[in-house]
A and B are shown apart, each in its own frame.
Chain A
Amino acid sequence: MYGGDEVSAIVIDVGSYSCKAGYAGDDTPKAVFSSVVGSIEQMGETDEAKADKEADTASDSKNGAKPMDVDKAKTKRKLYVGQELEFRRDHMEVISPMKDGTVTDWDIVDNIWNHAFRQRLLINPEEHPMLIAEPSTNTGQQREKAAELMFEKYKVPALFLAKNAVLTSFASGRATSLVVDSGGGSTVVAAVHDGYVLQKSVATSPIGGEFLTDCMMKSLESKGVVIRPRYSFKKKESPGEYKVVDLDLPNTTESYKLYCMRAIASDIKESVCRVPDTAFDEVAYANVPTTSYELPDGQTIEVGADRFKIPDILFNPSLSQTIPGVDGFADSMSVRGLPRMVIDSVNRCDVDIRKELLSSILLSGGSSSILQLKERLEKEVLEESSGNTRVKVLASGNSVERRFSVWIGGSILASLGSFQQMWFSKAEYEEHGVAYIQRKCP
């Protein structure tokens, strides 16, 4: 038992798109930054043994390779996290710690945590209990890995792992619900019953905000629009007008260029897109009024049918294949539209709770902020579900609450006086070992 409620806990949620970190009890996370990091391979450090030794002894933990990561080739690299990524650097690649919603590179996650604690929140992790929000799809092995890293490296006094879907569900006042979390890298549908995620109901799809952003970008490119990343030009003021001068930066990596272009495409998406009321139809939408958007370099583009077509991909993934340059899905069978995922997920649950799940479908995640998503989902699920079932899709009216519902849920939970006895404490870790996390935080 850990009874220290005098220091506030830290809540951290590393998503595939952004990392949210802050103090328990706050309304919103103090630090929100990109989950992808910049990486530069260090030259001249070919001697592996030497690199290892250096990484072990280096007090600057940014140097990466830790003794725990035996599975990874120990190339020495320097990682740039958070705002450091905003500056263009020669040869800097942009890499992500996650793939399909789960962590694949713990070294990067470690760096992200470190950045959050020491650069953003300016705290010493040894003094604060930590509540980590984890994807509903996390395996036991990944949970143990996270716990081990937290206790061994950061020496946290206490830890708790809570599942994203459960936190979202609780934050909306429901212990039983169907959580539709449409984030950056993926969309996850999970049924929560009495505070437990029903594992067999969890459905994932690679279609999230980033996929839509890519579709937007490819579609604009196919129409001849050139999105110029902000770093690639300079604005010069000549009397009355700005002149744009291209810069020649040959050592910029493709992945960094893509990262910067995505940031722009993502803003276009957020500014102009809305979900159509019915399935998108190329002919019917051919003449919709366009909306203009000004790119960073000053050119103005007109977005027409794409305003509706791009968000409709959430409902009808095969639509993305009509956009030139968009890759097909590796496993096209597993990629389903949102309403289909919801119905399939509900049908995998016990028949007694299906009604209740359908009447409390919760929308969360960044992509849930797209206009009209809630209404369209409710309509389509109603059409696909049998009989006179009551279907209700709920989403917080406040877009901040929607986007950060997982973090906010964690923040409240960790700040409750009664919760302080629930932590997995350092003493318990030392006595029972890391596997005990599965009992403390099932």
Chain B
Amino acid sequence: MANAASGMAVDDDCKIRFLQLKAKRTYRFIVFKIEEKLKQVVVEKLGEPNLTYEDFAASLPANECRYCIYDFDFVTEENCQKSKIFFIAWSPDTAKIRSKMLYASSKDRFKRELDGIQVELQATDPTEMGLDVIRGRAN
């Protein structure tokens, strides 16, 4: 238990969808949101495998926080096809302070539920999670 954790629960659907992304690669990305009234994290959007990074970036709201999982395909210097699963905490500067607090204090618990995250990012503006940043962290 993290110091000052919010105690937010995680909907089982989040775990199921994540496992599908990880094992069967049925999704390119998953966007999660916190339903404060339900006191849990739920799946908001699912991205088909043929969607691009741009589609993923466009699916994030500009003024609200979200958690997301993004499956990044890349080619290594040895010309080897690889992929890495990114966890991104999206917390734009323009979001309400309450929403920032909510997502930051629930993150640790939520992340623990998703087993198999390879890289983690936190972003407060689009440049912090740009394709170049993702590429840099994948290697």
Q: Interface of A with B (CB < 8 Å)?
A: 160, 162-163, 166-167, 169-176, 194-197, 356, 359-360, 394, 401, 408-409, 412-413, 416-422, 441-442
* Closest B residue, CB atoms, query A176: B122
**Chain A residues near B39 (CB-CB < 8 A):** 417-418
Taken residue by residue from 76 to 102, chain B's Cβ proximity to chain A (1 for < 8 Å, 0 otherwise) reads as 000000000000010111010111111
9 contacting pairs across A/B (C-beta < 8 A)? A162-B3, A174-B91, A195-B4, A196-B3, A356-B122, A394-B124, A416-B36, A418-B39, A418-B106
| Residues in A neighbouring B6, C-beta threshold 8 A | 413, 416, 418-419, 422
Residues of A within 8 A of B2 (CB): 175, 194-196, 442
Q: Check A416–B65 contact: CB distance below 8 A.
A: no
Q: Within the complex, what minimum Cβ distance (angstroms) separates B116 from chain A?
A: 17
Q: Is B107 an interface residue (CB 8 A)?
A: yes
B103 within 8 A of A: yes
> Does B102 contact A175, Cβ atoms closer than 8 Å?
no
**A94 to B2 CA separation, bound complex (whole angstroms):** 39
Q: Is the CB of A173 within 8 A of B103?
A: yes
Q: Assess A173 versus B124: contact at CB under 8 Å? Given A194-B2, A417-B36.
A: yes
- With beta carbons under 8 angstroms apart, the residue of A176, A356, A413 that contacts B105 is A413
B55 is an interface residue with CB less than 8 A from chain A: no
The answer to whether the Cβ of B5 comes within 8 Å of any Cβ in the partner chain is yes
Judged by DSSP, the binding face of A is mixed
Known contacts A360-B122, A412-B97: does B3 contact A173 (CB below 8 Å)?
Answer: no
Closest 10 CB pairs of A and B: A173-B91, A173-B100, A195-B2, A170-B104, A162-B4, A412-B101, A418-B39, A418-B7, A418-B8, A422-B7
Are A175 and B100 in contact (CB-based, < 8 A)?
Answer: no
- Tell me which residues across on chain B come within 8 A of A162, comparing CB atoms: 3-4
A24 to B12, CA, bound (A): 30
Q: Which residues from A are CB-within-8-Å of B101?
A: 170-171, 173, 409, 412-413
Neighbour of A175 across the interface among B92, B99, B108, CB < 8 A: B108
Instruction: Give the CA-CA distance A368 to B6 in the complex, in Å.
Output: 27
Question: CA A194 – CA B100 in complex, angstroms?
Answer: 14
Tell me the minimal C-beta distance from B62 to chain A in angstroms: 14
The answer for the CA separation of A422 and B101 in the assembled complex, in Å, is 16
Q: How far is the CA of A173 from the CA of B103 in the complex (A)?
A: 7
Determine which of A170, A172, A176 lies in contact with B4 in the assembled complex, contact meaning CB atoms within 8 Å: A170
* A195 engages B108 (CB within 8 Å): yes
Residue of B with least CB distance to A25: B98
Q: Which residue of B lies closest to A356 (CB)?
A: B122
Residues of chain B within 8 A of A160, CB atoms compared: 4
Name the residue on B nearest A355 (C-beta): B137
Q: Cα distance A401–B102 when bound, in Å? A: 16
* In the complex, B73 has a CB within 8 A of chain A: no
CB–CB B4/A175 < 8 A: no
Chain A residues within an 8 Å CB radius of B106 = 418
Among A162, A171, A360, A412, the most chain B Cβ lie within 10 Å of the Cβ of A412
Given contacts A162-B4, A416-B6, A195 and B122 within 8 Å (CB-CB): no
Residue of chain A at shortest CB distance from B121 = A356
Q: Count A-B contacts at CB 8 Å.
A: 107
Q: Which residues of A contact B102 (CB under 8 A)?
A: 412, 416
Separation of A394 and B40 alpha carbons in the complex (Å): 29
Confirm or deny: B9 has a beta carbon within 8 angstroms of a beta carbon on chain A. Answer: yes
Q: Do residues B4 and A166 form an inter-chain contact, with CB atoms below 8 A?
A: yes
Asked whether B103 lies within 8 Å of A413 as measured between CB atoms, the reply is no
Minimum CB–CB distance from B107 to chain A (whole Å) comes to 5
How many angstroms between the C-alpha atoms of A185 and B23 in the bound complex? 54
Q: Once the chains bind, are A408 and B97 in contact (CB under 8 Å)?
A: yes
What CA separation (Å) do A376 and B1 show in the bound complex? 37
Name the residue among A169, A176, A194, A401 with the largest chain B CB count within 10 angstroms. A194
- Among residues of B, the one whose C-beta sits closest to the C-beta of A197 is B3
Is there an interface contact between A401 and B97, defined as CB atoms closer than 8 Å?
yes
Q: Give the distance in Å from the alpha carbon of A356 to the alpha carbon of B120 in the complex.
A: 10
Interface presence of B44 (CB below 8 A): no
Q: How far is the CB of B12 from chain A (nearest CB, A)?
A: 17
Residue in B7, B36, B98 whose beta carbon sits within 8 Å of that of A421 in the complex: B7
Contact with A along B117-139 (1 / 0, CB 8 A): 00000101000100000000000
- Chain A residue nearest in CB terms to B37: A417
Give chain A nearest CB distance to B26 CB in angstroms.
28
With a cutoff of 8 Å between Cβ atoms, the chain A residues found around residue B9 in the complex are 418
Whether A442 contacts B1 in the complex (CB less than 8 A), given A170-B100, A174-B122, A422-B7, comes out as yes
What is the CA–CA distance of A356 and B89 in the complex, to the nearest angstrom? 13
A195-B105 contact given A173-B100, A176-B122, A421-B7, CB 8 Å threshold: yes
A172–B100 touching, CB < 8 Å: yes
- Known A-B contacts A194-B108, A195-B105; A441 and B98 likewise in contact (beta carbons under 8 Å): no
* Contact flag A194-B107 (CB < 8 Å), given A173-B124, A442-B1: yes
Q: Is the CB of B128 within 8 A of A359?
A: yes
Q: Give Cα distance in the complex from A160 to B105, angstroms.
A: 14
Contacts of A194 in B (CB 8 A): 2, 107-108, 111
Q: Which residues of B contact A170 (CB under 8 A)?
A: 4, 100-101, 104-105
